[in-house]
Amino acid sequence: MSEPLAALRAALGTRVRVNEPLAPRTTFRVGGCADLLIEARRVQDLIEYARLARAHGVPVFILGNGSNILVRARGVRGLVIENRCDQFSLEDADSAQAIVRAETGAPLPGMANRLARQGWAGLEWAIGVPGTLGGAIVGNAGAHGGCIADSLIRVTILDPSGAVRELPKTDLGLAYRTSRFKHAHDAIILRADFTMRRDDPTACVARMNQYIEQRRRTQPTEPSVGSMFKNPPGDAAGRLIEQAGLKGKRVGGVEVSPVHANFFVNRGDATADDVLQLIDLVRARVYEHLGVELELEIEIVG
Ligand SMILES: Cc1cc2nc3c(=O)[nH]c(=O)nc-3n(C[C@H](O)[C@H](O)[C@H](O)COP(=O)(O)OP(=O)(O)OC[C@H]3O[C@@H](n4cnc5c(N)ncnc54)[C@H](O)[C@@H]3O)c2cc1C
């Protein structure tokens, strides 16, 4: 272990884990280890761990629910902070709207569900998106015609200099499945404020149930990272992959899902290298057959 890592490990004490496997902490269930991993359950801890790592010159990677990343076999160098800060509350609620102030480790489906059942509309689309709020902001997650950018007001971040500051939505570069944070890893999103609209709880829950049912019919249930590629303008990546004859294509333990071709599924023994090979193969084949360059929606880390 390098000197800075050893010093950081000593500073973090018994809370930190060494050479911690990341596969069980991702929805794909593949990938190597983190040099160091620590869980943060309070925002103050998240800030403290990140500042300590930076003071020791050790890179930091924030892990949400690991549902939009592929961790390479060699794993992640430095400190992985697993964000488990999951508190959220309603503020300034009146008869028409409210602001939800949330910590970014909050699981999206749980948040959407609780708010909908209380008659707050705006996040129902997120019921089947198995990530944390932080990961969802980074990728401007969306589904069923809605996305994070629709109701986000502002975020609070720990910036690269170690300062805590607020940024309005307009400064976040939110666009289709991206933001200024994607691939940057220089800021940590600590909290986020959203606008919610008052609605009939029964109507909110009915919308969620409809989305859940739609997913059940169209998406596989094996471990995956959801959509592998972004949809090219005016088209669907899944349709293109299917048209290139790749539904069911397999490399080692990973397969282009026969249910939805933009999902790669882990058949139980997939490795990160299998997934990387299948990504290359699918991209090459789709380009060859249809002249379209598919862009990854997920992030490859490590
Ligand atoms: C079955 C399935 C269905 C899915 N359906 C959808 C869908 O309908 N729509 C959609 O958009 N996505 C979908 N996804 C993808 C994924 O769930 C979302 O992108 C989700 O928002 C990622 O959140 P996460 O917490 O898992 O992020 P992670 O995968 O843990 O992290 C993603 C990136 O965000 C960074 N990050 C996470 N938290 C923070 C933070 N607080 N501060 C700074 N950086 C941070 C990480 O470092 C990493 O770079 C699906 C995935 C699966 C497995």
**In this structure, what CATH number is given to the domain that contains residue 265?**
3.90.78.10
Check whether residue 147 and residue 208 sit in a common domain.
Answer: yes
44 in a domain, yes or no? Answer: yes
Question: What's the structural domain count of the chain?
Answer: 3
Query: Domain boundary residue among 83, 103, 118?
Result: 83
- Tokens 């975020």: give the residue: 155
pLDDT in tens, the chain (302 residues): 899 999 999 999 999 999 999 999 999 999 999 999 999 999 999 999 999 999 999 999 999 999 999 999 999 999 999 999 999 999 988 889 999 999 999 999 999 999 999 999 999 999 999 999 999 999 999 999 999 999 999 999 999 999 999 999 999 999 999 999 998 989 999 999 999 999 999 999 999 999 999 999 999 999 999 999 999 999 999 999 999 999 999 999 999 999 999 999 999 999 999 999 999 999 999 999 999 999 999 999 99
CA 117 → CA 12, 61, 73, 186, distances in Å?
40, 34, 41, 36
Check whether residue 95 and residue 52 sit in a common domain.
Answer: no
Check whether residue 49 and residue 145 sit in a common domain.
Answer: no
Check whether residue 117 and residue 172 sit in a common domain.
Answer: yes
Range of the domain at 34: 3-83
Phi, psi of 5 (to 5 degrees): -65, -45
Q: What is the pLDDT of residue 95?
A: 84
Distance 289 CA to ligand 1 centre (A): 30
- pTM for this predicted structure: 0.97
Indicate which residue of 39, 124, 255, 297 is catalytic.
297
Alpha-carbon distance of 298 to 301, in angstroms, equals: 10
Largest CA distance in the chain: 58
Check whether residue 107 and residue 210 sit in a common domain.
Answer: yes
**In this structure, what CATH number is given to the domain that contains residue 45?**
3.30.43.10
Atom of ligand 1 nearest to the CA of 46: 41
230 in a domain, yes or no? Answer: no
Please name every residue paired with 100 in a beta bridge, in sequence order, or none if there are none. 90, 194
Q: What is the pLDDT of residue 83?
A: 98
7 in a domain, yes or no? Answer: yes
Half-sphere exposure for 161 (CA within 13 Å, toward CB): 3
232 in a domain, yes or no? Answer: no
Check whether residue 248 and residue 197 sit in a common domain.
Answer: no
Indicate which residue of 17, 25, 177, 283 is catalytic.
177
Residue nearest to atom 31 of ligand 1 (CA): 135
Check whether residue 103 and residue 185 sit in a common domain.
Answer: yes
Check whether residue 78 and residue 100 sit in a common domain.
Answer: no
Residue in 67, 156, 218, 298 to alter for ligand 1 test, most ligand atoms within 8 A of Cβ:
67
Atom of ligand 1 nearest to the CA of 189: 42
- Tokens 């059940």: give the residue: 216
Check whether residue 51 and residue 101 sit in a common domain.
Answer: no
Distance 267 CA to ligand 1 centre (A): 21
Residue 227 among the catalytic residues: yes
Check whether residue 206 and residue 142 sit in a common domain.
Answer: yes
Query: Domain boundary residue among 31, 57, 83?
Result: 83
Check whether residue 93 and residue 50 sit in a common domain.
Answer: no
Query: Domain boundary residue among 62, 83, 104?
Result: 83
58 in a domain, yes or no? Answer: yes
187 in a domain, yes or no? Answer: yes
Identify the sign of the CA torsion 288, 293, 296, 302. positive
Identify the sign of the CA torsion 133, 135, 140, 141. negative
| Residue 166 structure tokens | 């607020």
Atom of ligand 1 nearest to the CA of 62: 47
229 in a domain, yes or no? Answer: no
| Residue 12 structure tokens | 């973090």
Ligand 1 pocket list (CB less than 6 A)? 27, 61-69, 83, 104, 129-132, 134-136, 138-139, 141-143, 181, 188-189, 224-226, 299
H or E element at residue 62 = strand 60-63
Q: What is the DSSP letter of 100?
A: E
Distance 66 CA to ligand 1 centre (A): 6
The DSSP secondary structure of 180-232, one letter per residue, reads TTTTT---EEEEEEEEEEE--HHHHHHHHHHHHHHHHHHS--SS--SBSBPPP
Residue 177 among the catalytic residues: yes
Residue in 29, 72, 129 to alter for ligand 1 test, most ligand atoms within 8 A of Cβ:
129
Please name every residue paired with 81 in a beta bridge, in sequence order, or none if there are none. 38, 62
Distance 43 CA to ligand 1 centre (A): 19
The DSSP secondary structure of 250-300, one letter per residue, reads EETTEEE-SS-TTBEEE-SS--HHHHHHHHHHHHHHHHHHH-----BSSEE
**In this structure, what CATH number is given to the domain that contains residue 159?**
3.30.465.10
Q: What is the pLDDT of residue 205?
A: 97
Distance 147 CA to ligand 1 centre (A): 13
Residue 2 among the catalytic residues: no
Check whether residue 47 and residue 99 sit in a common domain.
Answer: no
Angle (deg, nearest 10), helices 108-117 and 201-218: 140
Residue nearest to atom 9 of ligand 1 (CA): 142
Half-sphere exposure for 63 (CA within 13 Å, toward CB): 30
295 in a domain, yes or no? Answer: yes
Distance 94 CA to ligand 1 centre (A): 31
